[in-house]
Amino acid sequence: MAPRKIAAGNWKMNGDLAALAQLDALAGSVDGNCQIVICPPALLIHPMSSKSVPGIQVGGQDCHAKASGAHTGDLAAAQLRDAGATHVILGHSERRADHGETDAEVSAKAVAAHQASLITIICVGETEGQRDGGDTLQVISQQLAGSVPDCATAENTVIAYEPVWAIGTGRTPTDDQIAEVHARIRADLSERFADGAHMALLYGGSVKAGNAVQIFAIADVNGALVGGASLKAEDFAPIVAALAAA
Ligand code: PGA
């Protein structure tokens, strides 16, 4: 079984109720050949899932490791699920940087998400300094080992490789650099998990219509986690089409 193909949109802290119209515009791009998941700000999860656009799933951008309790401002995985989310992004580099999330915290959140029947999109990626220092593969292996819990399977876990220096910058790694990291991720997952060969691996960082075809042709790239270019259907639709055709 080949890994699923997934085009995931990360709206970050962008969008409002009016932006939900983008889903109607995207509806025509739905293709049985790949999954589409949009991860809007938490307040939009329920209105978005309530639109029930066939072929478009909805995800959160974070969840707490605890099931409930005194954690002001946080959201439990089961609450995301209750609001209609099927997925949750965990360990995005912006959360690691802005909120000091560690690999162990990301792993604990992933366990909670799986207990709530959410599919996790777990992010890893090196900084520019780490790449320049020749540490990329070691950093990726370390983040994977620490952030992906033992309960991960090809059904409940998706990995996103997002070089920090490529996010929102318009810069992307070379094809060889992406291939090298994805091969390492695949090898690490295959060594640790019985179905590691079947886990979907996404590339993220300045994916756009103009580079999607090329990126999706790289070995072990099963889709993309897209920020800026996921906000408007006219930008995201060609990326979905490129993935469906890949
Ligand atoms: P970008 O963001 O596509 O805007 O670079 C990707 C991400 O952070 O998931």
What is the DSSP annotation of 98-138?
Answer: HH---HHHHHHHHHHHHHTTPEEEEEE---HHHHHTT-HHH
Tell me which residue has its CA closest to atom 2 in ligand 1.
227
Active site residue 92: yes
pLDDT band of 219, cuts 50, 70, 90: very high
Reported residue count of the chain is: 246
Question: Which of 225, 230, 232 is the best mutation target for the ligand 1 pocket, counting ligand atoms within 8 Å of the beta carbon and taking the most?
Answer: 225
Amino acid at 37: V
pLDDT confidence of residue 2: 86
Residue with tokens 């995800």: 59
CB 190 within 8 A of CB 220: no
Bridge-based pairing state of the strands 35-39 and 6-10: parallel
* Whole-angstrom distance, CA of residue 158 vs CA of residue 148: 10
**Looking at residues 111-131, what average pLDDT do you find?**
98
**Looking at residues 173-184, what average pLDDT do you find?**
98
Which of 3, 12, 64 lies closest to 34 in space, CA to CA? 3
Task: Determine if ligand 1 sits within 6 Å of the CB of residue 162.
Answer: yes
* Whole-angstrom distance, CA of residue 239 vs CA of residue 226: 9
